[in-house]
Amino acid sequence: MDGLTAWMERHILPVAAKIGAQKHLVALRDAFIGTMPATMAGSVAVMINAIIRDLPKQFFADYADNLVADKGIFAVINVIIGINGFVWNGTLAIAGLIFAFSWGYNLARAYGVNDLAGGIVGLATLVQGIAFSYSNTLETAVPKALVKTINATSADTGWTATADGLTAGGWGWLNLNHLNGNAYFTVMILGAISVIIFCKLMLANITIKMPDSVPPAVSKAFAAILPATIALYIIAILNFVVGKLTEGQLIIDLVQKYIAEPFLGLSQGLGAVIIVTIFTQIFWFFGIHGMNVLAPVYEGIWGQAQLINVNIFEKGYNGLTGTPGVLEAIKDGKAYMWVRGSFDAFAMFGGSGGTIVLILAIILFSKRADYLTVGKLSLGPGIFNINEPIMFGLPVVLNAIMFIPFIIAPVVAVSIGWLATYFGLVAPVSQQVTWVVPPMLLSFLATGADWRAPIVTLVCMVATFLIWTPFVLAANKMDPNLGEVEE
């Protein structure tokens, strides 16, 4: 074990340290974190709607009809649902737009230039390449008189007609599928290009210089004009060229089809879930926050999948809302079985490695005074998935005897959670729940109030408890100076 630890210290730790300090990845991590006020507010709105709109339908056959009737207490419920809808409109419905600003802002900050201007460049990069118009045709027989009536008002209504069909079109319509979580990959790619160009030009001092008498705020804004203009024109030329080469297709649609969807598809396999879990634990073992280091993977891939699930849960799919809509979308490849919150629901109880189970094993079976003291002090934070006290107080970090269970336990947990979700024993995660919610309650809320989710989480906890316990017992024998156990 000591030899393995030494080998990892030589070969894994330096790589992990470099990844953790790479400024572009740090900026990307901070960009995801920066969107949390909006995404969590939207998630709370969707969660409340899930509890008052979707959950009762599972138990009361006439609940949906009563909501439609909009009378009595159901009128109040509909008001709450409507208010939550407005919150969703300004948060999760435009999550990609919010992320575009956050990515530009944090990337510019990483380069040490005007961060506000960087955020604006990132935002403008996304918006300039989305659809601003729509057109849809319905093939159906249209009476001649009606054709004339429709075409007479087409300039105002956007409707045109022929004897063989109706066409609806308009300009100034923004496609929400270009502004929500679907935009993440496009934002990460094009936003990086435009904002890095902006930053390089700023650092090269290719700016408009104002006299010293001009107020600093004005001078700072003018300095960003030329770099921002050049960066946005380069993206505009790229959008134009791609449109010409692809007969009018947008980059955001191409990225979604050829980059995002394949990555998201690969992320759904158990192998990918296990590999990322293992690397997360290895980084943590050496004291490097694995979730932060791999945040671009967790948030960029599974985080986008989660936002897609949340949006489908709220607005529905093929006429179905809530969990049935998500399940229907999964069948068509439009939603996802395993998302970012799935890790929290089924494996990260108490924090990375499922350390709340380690704490319980220590309290029940440890005879070491030092372990018991740390375990008792760590129990409170552990209930809320804060595991730094046990990680650095026991410690688990660089503790050779804890290495094997620290790696194996979460792998077993994610495997159980993945299999339960894959075989339909529990609903897929469709809500974004803040990570400090205690285990079992977190999985219950995250799955849209599926009562089976806490049971699956409990099974995962029992399985990992059986993995942790032998090593806690072994630790008793490793202390040559075993003292009195503190009460």
- Dihedral, CA atoms, 455, 459, 462, 464, nearest 10 degrees? -130
> For position 135, what pLDDT does the model report?
78
**5 confidence band (pLDDT: 50, 70, 90):** low
- Rounded to an integer, the average pLDDT of 77-81 is 90
Is residue 230 within 8 Å of residue 201, measured between CB atoms? Answer: yes
Q: Cα–Cα distance between 283 and 270 in angstroms, integer? A: 20
| Tens-place pLDDT, residues 343-377 | 999 999 988 888 999 999 999 999 888 889 989 99
| Tens-place pLDDT, residues 96-137 | 999 999 999 999 999 999 999 999 999 999 999 998 877 788
- Rounded to an integer, the average pLDDT of 149-170 is 81
| Tens-place pLDDT, residues 189-223 | 999 999 999 999 999 999 888 787 778 878 888 88
Quick check: 480 pLDDT over 50?
no
> For position 387, what pLDDT does the model report?
85
> For position 2, what pLDDT does the model report?
57
Range of lowest pLDDT (168-177, 188-197, 295-304, 368-377): 168-177
* Full-model pTM: 0.77
* pLDDT more than 70, % of the chain: 93
> For position 17, what pLDDT does the model report?
65
> For position 358, what pLDDT does the model report?
94
- Rounded to an integer, the average pLDDT of 230-255 is 93
> For position 119, what pLDDT does the model report?
95
* pLDDT more than 90, % of the chain: 40
Which of 143-152, 240-249, 409-418, 472-481 has the highest mean predicted lDDT (pLDDT)? 409-418
> For position 234, what pLDDT does the model report?
96
Quick check: 482 pLDDT over 70?
no
Quick check: 420 pLDDT over 70?
yes
Averaged confidence pLDDT in the chain? 86
Q: Cα–Cα distance between 383 and 388 in angstroms, integer? A: 12
Quick check: 431 pLDDT over 70?
yes
Cα distance from N-terminal residue to C-terminal residue, the chain: 33
Sheet holding 133-139, edge to edge: 133-139, 165-171, 159-162
More confident call, 236 vs 2: 236
**436 confidence band (pLDDT: 50, 70, 90):** confident
> For position 296, what pLDDT does the model report?
80
Quick check: 483 pLDDT over 60?
no
**180 confidence band (pLDDT: 50, 70, 90):** confident
Residue ranges per structural domain of the chain: 35-90, 96-132+174-267, 133-173, 271-478
